């Protein structure tokens, strides 16, 4: 167990549905992330939150709406998705986005098990 | 545009062998590079994080090196074990026009045979 949990683990939804993915970290971290892992494609960073503030949005369509009410919880609200949005959605957390020895970089991230999403 | 490539895509070796997994990236202006393993049905586990100012990092039987100028990183696994079987991913963190990006390679699927 990495200390990062995700629910649900599996989700099937129609294109007109609205659903939410939940991520919770028990590590006392300040930064949280959403990733998308599609079949045969590299993992893609979607959103970054640091101290509850969204710091990065990597050109993600508006049908994906993140929410970070506090440093321990992260949601991904889904609406009017497309079949190509079917993927494994991974959540991760890290202590923070900090300067380390003059280099700016993300600290070691801890990942949840993911939510396997199928859009019909 | 940053591209991250991992070769080979799949690897099958007998137990006890020393392994080298390769990761190459096209833009050397990175902040750090991270190696992960992913087990089937599970999320990613961070193995080693190398900052751009560092040359290598070691953890147990794992050693990762970074050569920024040539755009390469290698993950060395000593005395491989069946429990090392997993997909290994590398990822680079960099800045592109004011936006931070984290780009992953497609991974190397490793199978260590008992």
Q: What is the pLDDT of residues A62-90, one digit of tens each?
A: 999 999 999 999 999 999 999 999 999 99
* A106: confidence class by pLDDT, cuts 50, 70, 90: low
**Is the separation of the CB atoms in B50 and B34 below 8 Å?**
yes
Whether A100 has a pLDDT exceeding 70, the answer reads no
**Alpha-carbon gap: A70 to the closest alpha carbon of chain B (Å):** 22
H, E, C per residue of chain A? CCCEEEECCEEEECCCCEEEEEEEECCCCCEEEEEEECCCCCCEEEEEEECCEEEEECCCCCCEEEEEEECCEEEEEEECCCHHHCEEEEEEEECCEEEECCEEEECCCEECCCEEEEEC
Whether A2 has a pLDDT exceeding 80, the answer reads no
pLDDT digit string (tens) for B95-112?
A: 777 766 788 998 999 999
Q: Do A102 and B100 touch (CB under 8 A)?
A: no
pLDDT digit string (tens) for A15-51?
A: 888 999 999 999 999 889 999 988 878 888 898 888 7
With CA atoms as reference, the chain A residue closest to B44 would be: A111
pLDDT digit string (tens) for B10-57?
A: 999 999 999 999 999 999 988 889 999 998 877 788 899 888 889 999
pLDDT digit string (tens) for B64-95?
A: 999 999 999 999 999 999 999 999 999 998 87
Nearest by CB to residue B32, choosing from A105, A112, A113, is A105
């Amino acid at each position: 167990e990495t200390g990062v949990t995700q629910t649900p683990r599996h989700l099937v939804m129609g294109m007109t549905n609205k659903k939410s993915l939940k991520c919770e970290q028990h590590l006392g971290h300040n930064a949280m992330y959403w990733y998308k892992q599609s079949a045969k494609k590299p993992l893609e960073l979607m959103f970054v939150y640091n101290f509850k503030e969204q710091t990065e949005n990597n050109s993600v369509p508006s049908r994906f709406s993140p929410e970070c009410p506090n440093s321990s919880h992260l949601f991904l609200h889904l609406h009017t998705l497309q079949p190509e949005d079917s993927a494994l959605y991974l959540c991760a957390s890290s202590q923070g986005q900090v300067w380390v020895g003059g280099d700016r970089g993300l600290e070691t991230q801890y990942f949840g098990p993911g939510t396997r999403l199928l859009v019909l | 545009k940053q591209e991250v490539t991992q070769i080979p895509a799949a690897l099958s070796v007998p137990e006890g062998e020393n392994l080298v997994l390769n990761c190459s990236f096209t833009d050397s202006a990175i902040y750090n590079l991270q190696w992960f393993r992913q087990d089937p049905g599970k999320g990613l586990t961070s193995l080693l994080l190398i900052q751009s100012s560092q040359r290598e990092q070691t953890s147990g039987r794992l050693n990762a090196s970074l050569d920024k100028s040539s755009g390469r990183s290698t993950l060395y696994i000593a005395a491989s074990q069946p429990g090392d079987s997993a997909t290994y991913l590398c990822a680079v963190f960099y800045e592109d026009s004011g936006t931070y990006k984290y780009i992953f390679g497609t991974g190397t699927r490793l199978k260590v045979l008992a």
